[in-house]
Amino acid sequence: MAGSLIRQVYPVAKNKFNKAWLDRHRNDPYVKLAQKHDYRARAAFKLIEIDEQDKLIHPGMTIVDLGSTPGAWSQATRERLRIKSQGQTVVSGRIIALDVLPMEPIADVEFLQGDIREESVLRDLEARLHGQKVDLVLSDMAPNLSGVEVADAARMGHLIELAVEFAQNHLKPDGALLAKCFHGSGYNQNVDLFRHAFRQVASRKPKASRPESSEIFLLGRKLRQPAPTA
């Protein structure tokens, strides 16, 4: 009896939720701006706003974009690497993007599909750097959320640990890491992790990040020391 009741009620609740989400999405000013500027997601404006405040991206940089799909951050990054050269607009610098999901190609962006939690994928990413140090690591990685706060915080914390470790191993001494996390369970531990890795640590909540979302971005600059070798 209970099971049949759930099957009858749940589709209605689900449809109401989907409709509310779609209505909010259609009316979102950042969604409209993303469409206007041909960005693949409204998330581009989160990076744009942070970059305008912190001046992270400059032509000539080598930048790694972790959790890149669908590509909005790579698009925004590419725009900031463009310069005028001999009467033409060209990209000065290098963007290497990584995601477990496929991503439609973006001009001047090298994409690697794989899970950074897998050693072989990490080694492939490192090989593409050819020993070159990185100026900036961007991480918009997030786990599939289960709704169980403690479990989700642990999964998010693990991704942040991977981003920090990658930054410690591959950033230039004055490089930076910008990583998404969630304000809630585990947040203080993530901040402590950043403070152990970087001399300058700040949090950013751009206007393009929905106010009701617990999403927040941690920015670390100037490495304290490389990650210890195994």
List active site positions.
180
Instruction: Identify which of 97, 99, 93, 96 has the alpha carbon closest to the alpha carbon of residue 57.
Output: 93
Q: Residue type for 12, please? A: V
182 - beta bridge partners?
Answer: 215
199, 200, 201, 207 alpha-carbon torsion, rounded to 10°? -160
Q: Which two tokens stand for residue 165?
A: 């470790």
Q: Residue type for 220, please? A: G
Q: What separation in angstroms does the CA of 77 have from each of 22, 58, 126, 193, 198?
A: 28, 9, 20, 26, 22
Q: Which two tokens stand for residue 73?
A: 């951050």
Angle of the 72-80 helix axis to the 44-54 helix axis, nearest 10: 40
